[in-house]
Chain A
């Protein structure tokens, strides 16, 4: 590919792209195009085909049909991630692609074959550090650290910065798949500003996000997908959140307005706290308790501690947000994945009852509206959001009185979220106790009580009508301590 074609606002264009996975038609003849310097938002439910579309562009998945052109060059069937890279396509995927055992410079070298010879490490280091500084000033990431020693948010920052680095292979089209789901507020704002700056330099970005406000804030155009097809292409200017949700086929329900709080039952969790330093944490039957705060202030760690302390079988169930590493059993079907937490209750004599197991799985697939053509499919063949629904069902199907939610809505679409929120409220009304860590403040609106963590300690408690985004943000910065 000649550089001259790149200078004339090269276009990446897919026409009538189709892709099926077994009986599931992920893409049904989809058109997609993006011009250098454009920022395009891609929205849709889980399973709408966004990831498949991006995987085709990235060379991870081959298309079954359709034309693909980059800068006027026709892309053949031998397209691959390596070729995508040469065409300037870069990806930031939900499942991070950094090598955990390598440091920042080494991970950068993996993208740029030209960083070779004497002193490559220094050049690679300067490249990634410069980009990190550019996108996330004051990021505080130790530059010599190995990826495994970084927090999830820091890894995401490195992943993003790496995608935008240029050598003789320039970044032209950058795909960002839910890049902000593990970033804090500040980092998210920095990233959005950077995407605009990159666009001014001619770097196109494709942003996939369930956070519609971010899409509207940063994108020139928005593409809406439903069931493997593009149902709308709009200029972002003048578009409202409500319009997007409407196009996706959902009517956004306003957040719960229950002013009257339920009378609470038995105490399920009670920690002593430390006077003057940390509040005692309490959670009762029928209550939804939220853990909030800035990233890395110990909310998640506390959630895990409480889970393992409550531990004993039957006492507590856990919904993991880091699906790949902590939730999914990759060799198992939907059915086996869903019932693993309930097998003791599903016994008939010594053995697990096939019939009861399958009844439970089918029942919950229906209740959670999991999009699949059978409970015997491998769980990993489902889209991310549908996998998450199965993990939710795994916990809700148990008789555990306490359920811990570890940021389970990461990368889940609006419709699914509303369904799950409703289910959580129903289950709480029926006497379950939920302890919920979320990185998105909006989700805390579903909680009766919210503990805000600051510097590894629960320093603020908000209850009922006090639970507002403003109060949570204020407390996250440690300004409203020990209430």
Chain B
């Protein structure tokens, strides 16, 4: 029998790993690049966290649920957002609304495919990601469109050493953590993820819950695309590529159960920082790409093995 605290602690490993890497980086660089390293890790973690939130919502809604269309929705929304705004600061609110709508619709489309065509989520979202990617290519707009200057400025705005966007996303994460525990939707999502049958007999409309999860996932992926395009100076067709595996790895390492029904929003930050620090560190050693991937993979396996002890039932 295991108590609540032990069962839910694996997410701490992300934070611990991040701290260890950070200290290691400081030692290797002899204290020189600490602040720059931390800034870079924070900046990229913002986007890792947003895509991971998408993935968390979907994964938590039950065994087998996963959203492989995260990178495609991100890319599509980046293109559409940049296209709508056309570099004009005045159009930023409109761009944001359009991106939100497109993200929600894309997520809803995913769930509709799962429900109506009875496709397994892994197939449905894989198929729809091709649709979204080709929409981004054809209808999305021109890749050369620059983001509005205000958007770019905002994504890298800092007050002192603190990135404003990072603070906002941290607040969002905390809000989600509270919401998962104490909002009606949060409880219903966790219930649906643990046992769909039990949830239905407890009066929960499980389809509605899953629809909201998928739509929410689309929303956060879209938002990530919008902000990432602002941050990197424009949309690109391959901008989402790294986020497919990363979104899943960050969520799982962050303490969310792949079997569904158990989510951890705060843990996402720990594992997102860990992943980005790892990348930065390996880059600074000029590690070849192949070796970098190999090391990243090995470290994920190591940590997940260490962090998740078998859950014994009595």
Contact = CB atoms under 8 A, between A and B. Distances in A.
Contact of B184 (A326, A327, A343, A380): A343
B197 A351 contact: no
B141 interface: no
A352 B180 CA distance: 11
A347 B184 contact: yes
B218 to A, nearest CB: 23
Closest 10 pairs between A and B when the two form their complex, measured CB to CB: A351-B182, A318-B201, A329-B194, A326-B197, A352-B182, A340-B202, A22-B1, A341-B202, A21-B1, A320-B201
A378 to B, nearest CB: 7
Contact of B202 (A314, A318, A330, A378): A318
B201 A327 contact: yes
Given A325-B195, A325-B198, 17 more contacts: A21-B1, A21-B314, A325-B197, A326-B198, A326-B201, A327-B201, A329-B195, A330-B194, A330-B195, A336-B187, A340-B187, A341-B203, A352-B183, A352-B184, A354-B182, A376-B4, A378-B4
A305 B182 CA distance: 31
Interface in A350-395: 350-352, 354, 376, 378, 380-381, 394
B261 interface: yes
The A contact surface, by secondary structure, is mixed
Contacts of B183: 350-352
A318 B202 CA distance: 7
Given A352-B187, A381-B314, A329 B198 contact: yes
B182 A329 contact: no
A327 B194 CA distance: 11
Nearest to B179: A351
A331 B262 contact: yes
Interface of B: 1, 3-4, 178, 182-184, 187, 190-191, 194-195, 197-199, 201-204, 257, 261-262, 313-314
Interface string A138-169: 00000000000000000000000000000000
Contacts of B191: 329, 332, 340
Interface of A: 21-22, 61, 307, 311, 313-314, 316-318, 320, 325-333, 336, 340-341, 343-344, 347, 350-352, 354, 376, 378, 380-381, 394
Contacts of B184: 343-344, 347, 352
A61 B312 CA distance: 11
Contacts of A378: 1, 4
Nearest to A394: B202
Contacts of B262: 331
8 contacts: A22-B3, A318-B202, A325-B195, A329-B198, A340-B191, A343-B184, A351-B183, A381-B314
A327 B178 contact: no
Contacts of A21: 1, 314
B1 A381 contact: yes
A61 B4 contact: no
A234 B184 CA distance: 53
Nearest to A51: B314
Contacts of A307: 201
B179 to A, nearest CB: 8
Contacts of B198: 320, 325-329
Contacts of B187: 336, 340, 343, 352
Contact of A328 (B1, B4, B195, B314): B195
B3 to A, nearest CB: 8
Contacts of A327: 198, 201
Q: Which of B184, B187, B198, B257 has the most CB of A within 10 A?
A: B198
Contacts of B178: 351
